Amino acid sequence: MLADLASLEQVCALADQVSAGHDAIALLVNNAGVGAGRPPYRKRQLSADGHELRLAVNYLAPALLARRLIPALKNGAPARIVNVGSVGQAPVDFADLRMDSHYTGAQAYYRSKFAFAAFTFDLAEELAGSGITVNCLHPASLMNTHMVRQSMIPPMSTVAAGVKAVMNLATGPAGDTVTGRYFDGMNEARAHEGTYDPATRSRLRTVTAELLAPFLAGRDRATP
């Protein structure tokens, strides 16, 4: 099933297609993303919905997809959500979500991954007791992927190393026994300290709910 995650309408269509074909699912791995881009990282792009592209694809799309699939995940419990993030994280500027000022692709990427980690911890708390675990990880540093090669930075890790870390949470015992955690590779670690801040997470939760409201109205979902 294919969808352009730069379009929230297509994310909804993807979720509907998955749900129509599968009443119960046991695993959601949010892995798609947009990197910093080719140097000098200055070209700001917007999504189909007018959001800064990296925030849209790396954060809003998987957040929406997860919420739209929660009913199917509950039906498939015990189930898991694995959010593939990055060790590169920087606090979101809520006053400039589109990054109209001082834009760089790298900073946009870091902010999207910060938001994704904070969302992970929030959703895990929200789904506590539901049979769904929600965890986030940095799979490996600078894997040999198109995203890394496009940034003109020499790869440091193999894709296999990243796959091993993702599968550890997707199918291994770790992903079943803990929730609301951040992993660096195979090991539990700490995300950016700001992602644990209650005020920051509350602000992000409110902003995200506002941005996704048109795509969640009238749907069965967890409470934002």
Active site residues: 109
Beta-strand ranges (E) seen in 48-179 are: 79-84, 132-138
Going from the C-alpha of 46 to that of each of 42, 52, 55, 122, 178, the distances in angstroms are: 13, 5, 9, 26, 36
3-state SS, residue 64: helix
Q: How far is CA 35 from CA 31, 115, 126, 177, in A?
A: 12, 15, 29, 31
**E strand or H helix that includes residue 16:** helix 8-21
Joined together, the tokens standing for residue 78 give: 């015990």
Which residues are paired to 143 by β-bridges? 157
Residues contacting residue 66 through CB under 8 Å, at least 6 positions apart: 28, 30, 81, 123, 134
Taking a C-beta distance cutoff of 8 angstroms, is the pair 174, 121 a contact?
A: no
